């Protein structure tokens, strides 16, 4: 097992190739340990070089509503007013702190997504 930091795109490609070869390694074996360490290094490199932005708050709400089978009326009951639900989903009204808390609690959307400007 020869593990080194991933500093370049070439290092990254080589690490991915090695990961693919040892992907089915048994836990607590030398290759299993290499797999674990290599996965951590690859993840760290990807977080630094290929960051994924948080989703738009309104798009996240709409997506989660679809996943949960919620209608706009369901969303309105969650935040308190039917007209506000329409205004929020059409980006005419901002989310209040109370709304963010309710949406987070009931729809399990991370607060860091909901508090973003849109």
Q: Where are the domains of the chain?
A: 9-49, 57-114
| pLDDT surpasses 90 at 3 | no
- Following DSSP, what letter does each residue of 38-67 receive, concatenated? HHHHHHHHHHHHS--PPPPHHHHHHHHHHH
| pLDDT surpasses 70 at 1 | no
Architecture of domain 57-114 in this structure: Orthogonal Bundle (1.10)
CA distance 55 to 113: 7
Per-residue model confidence as pLDDT tens digits over 48-68: 999 999 999 999 999 999 999
**CB neighbours of residue 94 within 10 Å:** 12
């Amino acid at each position: 097992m020869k593990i080194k930091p991933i500093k370049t795109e070439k290092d990254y490609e080589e690490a991915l190739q090695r990961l693919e070869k040892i992907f089915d390694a048994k836990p607590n074996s030398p290759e299993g340990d290499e797999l674990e360490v290599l996965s951590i290094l690859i993840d760290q490199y990807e977080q630094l070089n290929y960051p994924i932005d948080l989703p738009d708050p309104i798009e996240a709400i709409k997506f989660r509503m679809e996943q949960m089978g919620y209608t706009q009326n369901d969303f309105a009951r969650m935040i308190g007013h039917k007209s506000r639900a329409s205004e929020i989903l059409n980006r005419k009204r901002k989310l209040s702190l109370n709304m963010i808390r309710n949406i987070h609690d009931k729809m399990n959307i991370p607060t860091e997504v909901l508090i973003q400007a849109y």
